[in-house]
Chains A and B, each alone.
Chain A
Amino acid sequence: MSRRHRSVNGRSAAAPRKKFSNASLILLGLILGLAGALYYAWVVAPVVYVDASPSRLSDEHKAEYIFLVSQSYAINEDWPLAQQRLAGLDDPAAVQTVTSLLETYVREQRPSDHIANLAVLARQLGGEAPVIALFAPTPLADEPPTATATITPPSPPAATPSPTPQPTITPRPTVTAVPTSIPDPTAQPTYRLLNQQQLCADDASTPQIEVVTLDALLEPLPGIEVLVTWDGGRDRFFTGFKPAQGEGYGDFAMTPDTSYTVTLADGSPEISGLRIESCDNGEISGWRLTFQNLILQPESPEP
């Protein structure tokens, strides 16, 4: 009796009505529907793209796509086609993307031709990162006109050695030099010249030939024998004996009116015609040569 009375009593029935008002019911339905629909749309039946452009590819496949563009460009040298392909990625920062991929390839020690092709692609896109300049260097013809040295094919070293004129290297026991070897003129160079720079020192120090040797991954490479020849003389030194200057650094003092030729004993282009010259600021200059080893070594050396 009292229950029935309560059920029809307006005061008692108002409680559930307040608890579930019209607005709260719509809101409850909205939330439930929204949650269910999002689960369905994102998990059960997500959008499947078909007839898509490369911009829809996963990051992994985008990287593969860029790699294929670089390989194809290396083969056909069709730059407009390569640009058109890259445009399909719809990536406004394509230069950074390609450069980043190049750095990844270097870290992963991918084959050198893959790295070089990717670097060329990045360079063509206008990339200016150091890694691009090192793996896809601009031809020496574009160097400043003050550079007078030329690259000539390898030739056997001078047959008659002569005494060292001005030794400047102080050997330190921390670095072990590799045995002397005679370059084979018929072999492919193990090193390539990455950079040739005229050094215009502000102080009155003796002009010198500075050589920096790097491995394929651009890390300093000590213990590399450098051969220096000049008219009537020959000398050699090793990189790595001046760690303060860098582990791959070595230098050789120059004398006036002498033309030097530098090559690496393990095989590199001969850099000839290196002589003391005057800089724009009136100082006399030496030269810095940077060589890169072309052979990628495995990450962990074999026992």
Chain B
Amino acid sequence: MSVSFFIIFMALLQKLLLLILGLALGIGLGLYLGWVAWPTEFTDANPSILVENYRQDYAHMVADAYAGDGDLTAAQQRIASLGGNSQAFLLSVTLDAILLGQNEAEIRRLVRLSADLGLSSPAFGPYLSVDGDAP
């Protein structure tokens, strides 16, 4: 009787192990397909996912667009779409542009947008005092 029980137990254990093996294979395959081969296609990916240099460039474009149309509400929404502390990010982009001595007209547009969004810095002064191509 005990031998029969042992045989049955071993048979069941074998089947259980096979089932677990199948599960493991299925999970591995499923994760590969779901994360690597066919990952979820996002439908709401916003600029916050962009790599740093693209985020900075995006801020530059927002400042350019604001210089063109003067739409502060739209500019504010676009900067906010960069995610995180977007205003601090805009300030850092503007200060970087000043410190790196980038194109003056570009700096002026960034400074104008930053100032109109309520940001301030002593470095803004020279770029706010002279009329440029600000909106």
Contacts and interface: CB of A to CB of B under 8 A. Distances in A.
A173 to B, nearest CB: 44
Contacts of B20: 29
A51 to B, nearest CB: 4
B25 A29 contact: yes
B69 A36 contact: no
Interface in A267-290: none
A59 B43 CA distance: 7
Given A88-B54, A111-B69, A58 B26 contact: no
A153 interface: no
Interface residues of A, number: 52
A26 B25 contact: yes
Interface in A20-38: 20, 22, 25-38
Nearest to A58: B45
Given A30-B29, A68-B58, A69-B61, A113 B68 contact: yes
Interface string A46-79: 1111111110111111001101110110111000
**B-side interface size class:** 35 or more
Nearest to B109: A75
Interface string A61-101: 10011011101101110000000010010000000000000
B45 A41 contact: no
A59 B45 CA distance: 9
B31 A40 contact: yes
A57 B26 contact: no
A75 B135 CA distance: 11
B30 A33 contact: yes
B29 A56 contact: no
Nearest to A43: B40
Contact of A52 (B25, B45, B68): B45
Interface in A188-211: none
A6 B133 CA distance: 95
Interface string A128-161: 0000000000000000000000000000000000
